[in-house]
Amino acid sequence: MNPELASQLRDIRGLDAVPWWPPGPGWWLLAVLCIALAITLFHLARHLRRYPLGSWHRSAWRELHRLRKQAQAMPPEQLASALSELLRRIAIARVGREQAAALTGERWLAWLQEHDPAGFAWSEHGKPLLTLPYAPPDAQLAGREQLLDLVDATFAWTGRRRRSQRV
């Protein structure tokens, strides 16, 4: 070995200690995922506590969505009849058969308006629910738009907000 070259060599310096802060990008990603998971679980638990599996809410919303999608193909009297039946089933599930089953006509619409948290004017706009199912087939007592407004009001009445969008 050449002594000149050996004199140019230096001893190995020790490595600096790895700092614990700031963490690497992988740790930041893991922290964000953990926070997102915690928020999602919180909202899911709150939703399931509010609307347990097997409750009337899920089947009512599913039926409302089905009515909304098929509204253009359904005759107005059939849409009004299906919506009226669904409203009655929701009312019975919500407050019991004793309070809701005996209501008819204007008293039914007044009860809907009284128990609607959104404040929809059922007494004023809900008349097609009373007249259309029993009207002759050729009578056009209400337009499809008015019935779609009633479907949207039913979404609000059941506790689920629906944007006013036309299918």
pTM of the predicted model as reported, rounded to 2 decimal places: 0.62
Cis peptide leading into residue 22 (ω within 30°): yes
Name residue 164's amino acid.
Answer: S
Q: What is the pLDDT of residue 161?
A: 55
CB 110 within 8 A of CB 125: no
| DSSP character at residue 96 | -
Cβ neighbours of residue 157 closer than 8 Å, sequence gap 6 or more: 87, 90, 112, 115, 116, 117, 118, 120
Q: What is the pLDDT of residue 42?
A: 97
User: Low-confidence residues of the chain, pLDDT below 50?
Assistant: 162-167
Instruction: List C-alpha distances in Å: 141 to 6, 7, 115, 136, 137.
Output: 106, 106, 26, 10, 10
CB 154 within 8 A of CB 84: no
pLDDT tens, position by position, 42-91: 999 998 888 787 777 788 888 999 998 988 888 888 888 899 899 988 88
Structure tokens at 42: 């919180």
Q: What is the pLDDT of residue 163?
A: 43
